[in-house]
Structure 1
Amino acid sequence: MLGLPDPGDWEAKKARRKAKTAPAPTPAAPPAQASAVNPWESAAEALKAQQQRTAATPSPPASTPPPARETGAPWATIDEKSGSVALRRLGRGVLWAVVGLAVITGVRAWVVPNQHTADNAPPPAKTAPAYPSDAAQAVAGRFARAYLTWDEDAPEARAVALAAVLPDGADTEMGWDKQGRQDVLAVQPGAVTPTTQKQARVRVDVLIRTTEEEATPAKGKKKATEAKTADRWIGLDVPVVQTAGQVVVTGQPGMVGVPAHGPKTPELKTPETDAAFGQQTADTVNDFFRAYAGGDTDTVTAPGATVPPLPDGMTLVGVTSWAADAGTGDDRTGTARVTWRIGQAQVEQTYRIELTRVASADAQRWQVANIHGSTA
């Protein structure tokens, strides 16, 4: 302790050193030198005197500390057991483990979200199933054709056609007075607008042909009648309802007007063109359309391409224009305007042409890989 020698060893060494080196006593030695005392001896004697005074005073046995080993030293040496050292080290290890665990848990909570929070989140709201628009359009289209077709000479045909798309027991006359004649030339179902209680409203555009008879007076003869026809588009809003896994018409429709023109389109960007490539491939496009009109495109299309021939009755007038899109590589596209003759009329149409470069050992050329109408 504190780097000092054991008091017992100190006393023994001092006695031996005194016996060897002590000089002969001289009567004339000064009193100050003869009375030189080692400070350790003075401290030991003072401690012994204090211990004797303390022992003379009685005290409770429980509070009396164990007597120190009488070694003549002013302190008592107590050996530290190895068990206390191990316990202290274990406590320090547990403390550092708890600190480390707290740090790791905190960092993980910052990086990884709490799973319990996600588990406790409310479930997503259930959405209602989509309305069966395809079935509604099919039923409304059939109804529109039957509803707008009538012939005063055969009223039963209309009733039978309506019964197929109406609920059982419904009125199959649907407000018709059983007069006149009218035919349906085309039916185009449109938007389906769901309302309430599994009901919906289906827009149907119908092209009808109405027959009207007019009397023409003749001199000296009875009035003759002449039939005139008129074709027009009309709109119908057809009410339907979904029931028992099917869609049926619930009642009379309402006639509505057909817009005279559509809405304005947004400004569409046209692709940049490559004039040099357009001139380079102009003959390729002309040859293709001549073969296209003739019904044989195998010689002007790229290997593996399939282009069905046009129907009979179409004659090529010519390619009005060809503009190749800007680009690079072995596959290029462009827009062609072509004029056809159909019967006695001519009509211009627009095509998007896809070209591909076909190379052989001797040369390379551009051929048509695909074609489709419009610019979209």
Structure 2
Amino acid sequence: MDFSLSPKLVELQQRTREFIASDVIPLENDARQGAHGPSEALRAELIERARRAGLLTPHASVELGGLGLTHIEKAIVFEEAGYSPLGPVALNVHAPDEGNIHLMDVVGSDAQKQRWLKPLVEGHSRSCFAMTEPDPGAGADPGMLRTTAVRDGDDYVINGTKWFITGAEGAAFAIIMAKLDDGAATMFLADMNQPGIRLERLMDSLDSCFTGGHGVLHFENLRVPATDVLGEVGKGFRYAQVRLAPARLTHCMRWLGQARRAHDVALAYARRRQAFGKTLGEHEGVGFMLADNELDLQTARLSIWHTAWLLDQGHKGNLESSMSKVFVSEAAWRIVDRCVQVLGGQGVTAETIVMRIFRDLRAFRIYDGPSEVHRWSIARKLLSNAS
């Protein structure tokens, strides 16, 4: 494995870094943000800035107007985008759209790509992915899916409730996971402005980095034409893996950027802040925390790059992406928690960006599968291979 970066990729990395510094970070305190994320107006401005910089939706295929990045290239660019909480929004590489773009590009029909995917790639629309349900429905165990889809002539009629649906408010369309009469899971595409879809409420959450927040959606006799089935009938769980294995890794890429940002803030403070006759960083307790941060950043980055390399070689990478998801989410949490400690009172206030990163990051250990579920899955694979 050769992880050296080509001159072209170094140039793209630097261009992304400069864009985040000059066009995105100055908007971090913009008033067009709230408890449920950046407003549509702020998102539109960020999108336009990235478009002018030639950095919009870089992971999409060249045919769709993106840069056709490999997984390794995404690791470089997405980390730079993640250096600001608004960076993934600006580059249009945020969840859930990033994963939905990948999924639809792989399994969508030409008509579906023209109708839904093209505007998504161009930054003119947003989407949501509706799978998680309230108890006793599907959560970490997708096999508990309760939302139903019943065939009725040329349509399917969908009924059920979903929650924790990121980006639901303001989304143009949804990818809905539902089960058929035989229990087989299927994905459906549906415009959100239909009477059969109701956004019941937005959920209060620790994080505030996703446009559209996290919503509760109710489907009541929603009619979806059979032509709007995404991929093939009955292959919903298989397609979920097509989406989730790369998507959990791109989560890692973006959050690594935020962890690095918090570390940079804490490091700068430790270099200049005086206490007991010397800088904070010269005190061993603080210096060790900064050293541990650097260790976690480097190891997390190598884990991401290794899994990305495997995906680029054509491997499924399910085991490796699970391992990266656990390690990176927990390493990033340790990093940012140490940064709060180094900053002291500033770390628990909005005097720096670190408090915001801390709040946003906590959910990462749950998104795309809690650490415990991934550990359970990893153990099952280990035991199966040993038998």
Report which of the two has the higher share of helix.
2
What TM-score do the two structures reach when normalised by structure 2? 0.20
- Larger Rg: 1 or 2? 1
Question: Which protein has greater RCO, CA pairs closer than 8 Å, 6+ apart?
Answer: 2
What TM-score do the two structures reach when normalised by structure 1? 0.21
